[in-house]
Amino acid sequence: MKWKKFTVKTITDAEDIIISALYDIGLEGAQIEDKIPLTPLEKEQMFVDILPDGPQDDGIAYLSFFVEDSKEHPVDTDQMLSDIRRELDALRNFMDVGEGTIMVSETEDIDWINNWKEFFHQFYIDDLLVIPSWEEVKPEDRDKKILHIDPGTAFGTGMHETTQLCIRQIKKHITPETQLLDVGTGSGILSIVSLMYGAGHAVGTDLDPCAEEAVRENMEANGISRDSFEMMIGNIITDKAVQDRVGYGRYDIVAANILADVLVPLTPVIQNQLKPGGIYITSGIIDNKEQTVREAVEAAGMKVIETTYQGEWVSITAQKPL
């Protein structure tokens, strides 16, 4: 099997935001090469106490993305390059992405599943244990809430700070009556977790038709009933048919873990889906975009009730007036 490899030369400060932006055009599972020293936690996870001195951090990073290239599904290299350049140019409007050059190469026979197994292990988001299918639940963890999910079969695993920020906020506001709308649902993690913590019903929307299969797999892995989670494909920002199908004034919570540039046009639309007094939870906001999203939320007539932070990412929670 052949794979096209697209490598972006950037700076370490831009790694996370570029990875998130390129998710939107179907590039997932970035391979990161940089010279940032390991943290004490990373050394602990690698069972290493002392490492030999490495090269000095020069601030440069290489982000590589792999796309299957087969006769049935050939890669349109020119189109992919155009899409990557478009995303990088959009990011340049508000941040430094470094050189931003793109290299294309070809490789074969990458064992993705086993490569993921080497790096992805079970972890906690507070009291929630996130575990891949190839690892067993420890006896002492069997009475805990457990989210089963595999990298490579979904859009996200819960490891990213933005997802964790959203999950923590959702847990604060969930009740047994909660009707939740998850915009940009991807793998369905936020909706699945909300149902695990007692929400009454969830609806997810996404632009990518592949999200339907990802959501179905994760629902089955976590024992989520099809009656409790409805999935819709389409652009809720611009497509009134999607807005009508989602419904108006129906939701106690709307969660949107999307980049700030999408949250700004989404917010005035989504307040129509919220019930009076409903909670709007946003994440995916890089720290220097916090004020931009806050202004969009307030301009839509909602009140910011909490702002939380993790790393360089921000979550803004707001409430629609009663």
Q: How far apart are CA 259 and CA 70, in angstroms?
A: 31
Q: At what angle do helices 189-196 and 210-221 cross, to 10 degrees?
A: 30
Sheet holding 123-125, edge to edge: 123-125, 128-131, 145-148
Consecutive H or E run containing 260: helix 260-270
How many C-beta atoms lie closer than 10 Å to residue 19's C-beta? 19
| Mean pLDDT within 84-99 | 91
pLDDT in tens, 92-112: 988 899 999 999 998 765 555
Q: What percent of the chain has pLDDT over 90?
A: 48
Strand bridging mode 313-319 / 274-286: antiparallel
- Rounded to 5°, the CA angle 301-302-304 comes to 140
Assess contact for 182 and 190: CB atoms under 8 A: yes
Q: How far apart are CA 22 and CA 42, in angstroms?
A: 25
pTM of the model: 0.66
Assess contact for 100 and 8: CB atoms under 8 A: yes
User: Comparing 68-77, 111-120, 231-240, which segment has the lowest mean pLDDT?
Assistant: 111-120
pLDDT of residue 40 exceeding 60, the answer is no
Strand bridging mode 101-108 / 123-125: unpaired
Assess contact for 129 and 122: CB atoms under 8 A: yes
pLDDT in tens, 107-166: 765 555 556 566 567 777 888 888 877 778 888 888 888 888 865 544 456 667 888 899
